[in-house]
Copies of this chain bind each other. A is one copy, B any other.
Amino acid sequence: MQSLNAPLVGKPGSAALVATPALVIEIEALERNIKTMQAYCDGKGLKLRPHAKTHKSAEIARRQIAAGAIGICCAKLGEAEALADAGIDGILVTSPVVTAQAFARVAGLNARLSDFMIVVDSAAGVDGLAKAAAASGKVLKVLLDLDIGLHRTGVMPGAPAMELAQRITAQASLSFQGLQAYAGHLQHVESHADRKGRNLSALAQVSVMRDLLAAENIACPIISGGGTGTFTIDAEARVFTELQAGSYVFMDKQYDAVKGENDSALPFETSLFVHTTVISSTMPGLVTTDAGLKSFATEAGPPAIASGAFEGANYFFFGDEQGGVMLGGAERALAPGSVLRCTTPHCDPTVNLYDSYHVVDGEQLSAIWPIEARGRSA
C-alpha cells in the first residue's frame, strides 16, 4: 500500500470526535484570509463590505467587521433577517425585491438597524420601497443596481439607469446612495489577463454612469461591487468605493483553479473542508463514503480530496447519501472508518447544506458555530 497524503487535521483519531459528514473550518487559515483581504483594501483606500451569502454566519461577520469591514452584504431578506437577529448591523441587500410582502420586510429591517441599504432595478421596485419606507417613517438608503454584462439583475447603463436614478431622488422616503455593479460572469475566467481586460471594460460603464449622474447633480457617494475572482482588478479600476468579495474567506475548488495561474492575484488559502468517513470497502480499488449529493453542492463537480486518500484518488457522487472514491489502483485500500478531508467544489451552496461549522484550531476542535442564515433563500 502506498503512503497516504498529508495527515488529517487534528491528532490521529480526533476527526472521529465529530460525526461526519461535517463542515470544518481551519481557523488559522480563515483568520489569515480575513486579514489579507482587509489589508489589501486598506492599502488601496477601499472599503470592504464582504458578502455574507458565502458564510451565512454571524460569528464570521463579526470577525470581518472587527478586522475593519464596514458591514456585510446579504443576498436575500431572510439572510439579512437571520444575521440581524444574531446582532449584525451594517447590511446591504444585494438583490432587488419586488413584492408587497418584501417591501414591508425591507422597511422592518431598515427600522431596526442603524445602517441598512438595498439595491433596486425597476420603477415598481422604487415605488414599492418608497411607499413602505414612508409608512415606516424612516428614510431608506438605496443603491441603483447596474447591469454591466451579467444580465441577471440591474438596469442598463445610460438612459434607463438615469431615469431610475431620477425616480429614486424624487422620493422623499428614499436616499440615493450610488451604484452597485457586479461582473459575476467574469469571476472565474481562468486567464488573469483575459479576466482583467474584460472586467476593466465592463467596469468602464460604471464610471461613465457615475459621470453622467454627476452632470445631473446626482452624486454617488457609494459604488459597491466586485468579487473574489477579480478583486485586484476591481481595485485597479478605481471606480468602486467598496468591495463585496465573499468567497475569499473560504476558497474552493473553483477558485483554486482560477488561482492556479496567478497566485498573487488570489493570495488566499482554503479554510473550509468537508470531512467524510469511509463506510464501506468491499470492492477492489473503490470505497464508499458517507457524503453524497446532500453534503456537497454538485454544480461544480465533485470535491477535491485534500488529504486522507492516495495521490490520484478521485471522488464521485454515489447518490444522495454517499460518495465513492476510486483509489487509483485495485491494490489500494482504505479501511472503513478512514476519514477524508475534502475541498468543497463551490463553497457558498455547500455551506447552505449544513447547520453548523466545526472549527478546528491547530489540532483541536475549538468551537461549533451555528450557520444562522442557512437555507434563508426567501
> Is A360 at the interface (CB under 8 A from chain B)?
no
Are B322 and A349 in touch, CB under 8 angstroms? no
Copies of this chain in its oligomeric complex: 2
> Is A337 at the interface (CB under 8 A from chain B)?
yes
> Is A353 at the interface (CB under 8 A from chain B)?
yes
Are B121 and A282 in touch, CB under 8 angstroms? yes
Tell me, rounded to whole Å, the shortest Cβ–Cβ distance linking A189 to chain B: 15
Interface string of A327-356 (1 = CB under 8 A from B): 000000001110000000000110011110
Tell me, rounded to whole Å, the shortest Cβ–Cβ distance linking A7 to chain B: 18
Are B318 and A279 in touch, CB under 8 angstroms? no
Tell me, rounded to whole Å, the shortest Cβ–Cβ distance linking A368 to chain B: 13
Which residues of A39-75 have CB atoms within 8 Å of chain B's CB atoms? 53, 75
> Is A6 at the interface (CB under 8 A from chain B)?
no
From B17, B95, B321, contact of A95 by CB (8 A): B321
Residues in B neighbouring A19, C-beta threshold 8 A: 77-78, 101-102, 105, 378
> Is A21 at the interface (CB under 8 A from chain B)?
yes
Tell me, rounded to whole Å, the shortest Cβ–Cβ distance linking A295 to chain B: 5
Residues in B neighbouring A354, C-beta threshold 8 A: 375
> Is A8 at the interface (CB under 8 A from chain B)?
no
Tell me, rounded to whole Å, the shortest Cβ–Cβ distance linking A155 to chain B: 6
Are B321 and A290 in touch, CB under 8 angstroms? no
Interface residues on A, range: 35 or more
A151–B293 Cα distance when bound, in Å, is: 17
From B16, B154, B298, B348, contact of A299 by CB (8 A): B298
> Is A153 at the interface (CB under 8 A from chain B)?
yes
Are B320 and A53 in touch, CB under 8 angstroms? yes
Interface string of A193-224 (1 = CB under 8 A from B): 00000000000000000000000000000000
With A21-B377, A102-B19 already in contact, the answer to whether A122 and B153 are too (CB < 8 A) is no
Interface string of A118-130 (1 = CB under 8 A from B): 0001101100000
Tell me, rounded to whole Å, the shortest Cβ–Cβ distance linking A297 to chain B: 7
From B147, B280, B293, contact of A121 by CB (8 A): B280
Residue from A102, A152, A288 whose CB has the most chain B CB atoms within 10 Å:
A152
Are B282 and A154 in touch, CB under 8 angstroms? yes
From B20, B75, B151, B153, contact of A378 by CB (8 A): B20
> Is A140 at the interface (CB under 8 A from chain B)?
no
A62–B77 Cα distance when bound, in Å, is: 34
Which 7 residue pairs spanning A and B have beta carbons closest together? A19-B378, A98-B336, A298-B299, A153-B280, A75-B321, A294-B352, A98-B337
Query: Could you list which residues of chain A lie within 8 angstroms of chain B, going by C-beta atoms?
Result: 16-17, 19-22, 53, 75-78, 95-102, 105, 121-122, 124-125, 147, 151-156, 160, 184, 277-283, 286, 288, 290-295, 297-299, 317-322, 324, 335-337, 348-349, 352-355, 374-375, 377-378
Told that A96-B336, A352-B353, A353-B375 touch, could you supply 17 new A-B pairs with CB distance under 8 A? A19-B78, A19-B105, A21-B377, A96-B279, A96-B280, A98-B336, A147-B282, A152-B322, A184-B319, A291-B377, A293-B299, A294-B348, A294-B349, A320-B348, A320-B349, A320-B352, A355-B375
